[in-house]
Structure 1
Amino acid sequence: MPTMKRLRMGLVGTGPWASSTHAPALAAHPDVELTGVWGRRPDAAASLASAHATTAYADVDELFAASDAVAFAVPPDVQAPLAARAAAAGCHLLLDKPVATTVTAARDLAAAAEAAQVASVVFCTLRFAEPTATWVTEQAATEGWFAGRADWYSSFYAADGSSPFSSPWRAQRGGLWDVGPHALSVLLPVLGDVTEVKAAAGLADLVHLILRHSGGASSTATLSLSTPAKASGSTVELRGEAGIALMPSGGGALDAFRAAVDALVESARSGRPHACDVRFGLRVTEILARAEEQLPAG
């Protein structure tokens, strides 16, 4: 059997996630050739490209032209228009969550991917990490869920906590947009699409959501990036006829991203859409935008 050609894959972004996760995973993947790096800071792009023996591009469209697919590690509202351009250039898309923070931008991106007929995968860590990915699949196959909850208490911006992955867009948009996609990525496959959402604000960026799902169940989500460090943590719980199911702790981001790359390669080769594709990313943006409308400005 002939060896299948590797997917030429470019990287957009040079920040901590791109350096610690995206670039190493792409450079080492057996089915991928890392074709190059583009970033808004040319010096950072040159450094990251050199570390992985690839090319730093000064023009992002030249990177798209040299690639079959592109992975994105940039803020969502930078990602959306660039990814639409990549799709128009015929590139498959490995997107970060959320795909955008406005419905218009997310719809434009989804439309561009559909028009170009390119594959897409949105990297929601828990949908690709083990054992959480298997847990979601198992619960989705179980009937009779009555209620669920997904709580993400992160301490990125707590007075006694810090993170190299903090960024201006996270500081501005808060837990709703950063960890909200994580909550929806596990609740929606199990309980069904969201038909109604209610949102209320707590201290700092804390947001509480009440969700009604198409399958009849309801769920809650509590989301924050400013939790005191000693109070941080995450929990996903389901209750129903089968009893109580608690999501296990997930694996590392690097292994999860490798699995997302696997998923994009398979979707690109087979033509079969992935369940966590740009259309799913659009739906997440629609739900979070509806929640944001109900919160006090600022």
Structure 2
Amino acid sequence: MNRLRFGLVGTGPWASATHAPALSRHPGVDLNGIWGRRPEPAAALAAEHGTRAFADVDELFAACDAVAFAVPPDVQAPLAARAAAAGCHLLLDKPVATTTAGARDLAAAAERAGVASVVFFTLRFTAASAAWLAEQTATGGWFTGRADWYGSFYAPDGSAAFSSPWRASRGGLWDVGPHALSMLLPVLGDVTAVTAAEGPRDTVHLILRHDSGASSTATLSLTAPPKCEGLAVELRGESGTVALPPWEGAGDAFGAAVDALLESVTTGTAHPCDVRFGLRVSEILARAEEHITAT
């Protein structure tokens, strides 16, 4: 296939540090333009990567074959639906939206337009964790699992260099909860029941029942003390106990997500982390949030 003309929506820290560099160096795409709410950062980021800044987001969509999003989820969802309607394939950030309605509208727009989509769940595109997940999915026979993510963005002594207002307001459930679910669902199956409880600060504890009969737990936080931050994924079953190897950073995970979208566009085969999976993750997290509110 021809090189895909990519647009980028967003100019914040994640767009600057991850999205724009990966798109500008990827051999299969051309970074065709950038749009941001504020013209000055958009112009600066575009100049840094040898592309142009668009003043109108719909003009960006019209000039591109695919669009990557690095904006808050509830800004992303309606903009991505417009991009899909313009015929653009979608490289989305997680969560795709923090409301079930927003996620459903986006998934429906992508389906109507017939565009390919990939949601950037970091662990699913990091080589070591993706290989580990594939191995455990093939093994099967799992009894229970857990996926814990302790971040310290908003701890009193933490660093908020890559923080954002939406993360501060929605907390660990919505920011790192998608990571946990992206590792548990492929191995244990869809979630059929959710129980949730609040912990210290923004911490949330989930208990999940899966359609395989297995159960799992997740602890999610952006306010853990920095000395205890980290992630852990563990499975227990007929083969014993296995744990995700130590996290060594995302590496070129975003580049792998671009590869995945290119393959989906070329083959017409939906990726396991497409917008429909993103919708399911948002539905589960919304159900957990409702459970907390009700109790």
TM-score (norm 2): 0.98
Match of 1:45 among 33, 42, 46: 42
SS at match of 1:162: coil
The 8 Å contact of residues 21 and 253 in structure 1, kept in 2 or not, is answered as: no
Q: Which runs of 4+ in 1 moved over 2 A?
A: 249-254
The 8 Å contact of residues 123 and 250 in structure 2, kept in 1 or not, is answered as: no
Match of 2:8 among 3, 11, 21: 11
2:156 is aligned with what amino acid?
A: A
1:135 is aligned with what amino acid?
A: W
**Cross-structure match for 1:98:** 95
2:225 aligned with 1:266: no
- Once the two structures are superposed, residues 106-127 of structure 1 have per-residue CA deviations (whole angstroms, 9 ceiling, x without a partner) of 0000000000000000000000
2:183 aligned with 1:186: yes
2:246 is aligned with what amino acid?
A: S
SS at match of 2:261: helix
SS at match of 1:195: strand
Match of 1:171 among 145, 168, 172: 168
SS at match of 1:79: helix
The 8 Å contact of residues 102 and 289 in structure 1, kept in 2 or not, is answered as: yes
| Distance in 1, Cα, partners of 2:41 & 2:161 | 16
| Distance in 2, Cα, partners of 1:249 & 1:203 | 25
- Once the two structures are superposed, residues 169-215 of structure 1 have per-residue CA deviations (whole angstroms, 9 ceiling, x without a partner) of 00000000000000000000000000000000011101000000011
**Cross-structure match for 1:151:** 148
| Distance in 2, Cα, partners of 1:254 & 1:170 | 23
**Cross-structure match for 1:34:** 31
Match of 1:108 among 102, 105, 110: 105
- Once the two structures are superposed, residues 142-168 of structure 1 have per-residue CA deviations (whole angstroms, 9 ceiling, x without a partner) of 121000001111100011111311110
2:72 aligned with 1:75: yes
2:105 is aligned with what amino acid?
A: D
1:250 Cα shift? 3.7
2:237 aligned with 1:240: yes
2:120 aligned with 1:140: no
1:248 is aligned with what amino acid?
A: P
| Distance in 1, Cα, partners of 2:110 & 2:214 | 32
The 8 Å contact of residues 129 and 250 in structure 1, kept in 2 or not, is answered as: no
SS at match of 1:36: strand
1:253 Cα shift? 3.0
SS at match of 1:273: coil
**Cross-structure match for 1:225:** 222
| Distance in 2, Cα, partners of 1:157 & 1:14 | 22
The 8 Å contact of residues 152 and 224 in structure 1, kept in 2 or not, is answered as: yes
**Cross-structure match for 1:120:** 117
1:254 Cα shift? 4.7
The 8 Å contact of residues 10 and 35 in structure 1, kept in 2 or not, is answered as: yes
TM-score (norm 1): 0.97
Match of 1:281 among 266, 278, 283: 278
| Distance in 1, Cα, partners of 2:202 & 2:279 | 23
The 8 Å contact of residues 80 and 109 in structure 1, kept in 2 or not, is answered as: yes
SS at match of 1:197: strand
1:230 Cα shift? 1.0
1:252 Cα shift? 3.5
Is there any run of 5+ residues in structure 1 with no aligned partner, and where? Answer: none
| Distance in 2, Cα, partners of 1:159 & 1:123 | 29
| Distance in 2, Cα, partners of 1:264 & 1:119 | 7
1:251 Cα shift? 4.6
The 8 Å contact of residues 153 and 231 in structure 1, kept in 2 or not, is answered as: yes
| Distance in 1, Cα, partners of 2:217 & 2:13 | 31
The 8 Å contact of residues 128 and 259 in structure 1, kept in 2 or not, is answered as: yes
Aligned length, in residue pairs: 294
| Distance in 2, Cα, partners of 1:251 & 1:273 | 28
The 8 Å contact of residues 21 and 254 in structure 1, kept in 2 or not, is answered as: no
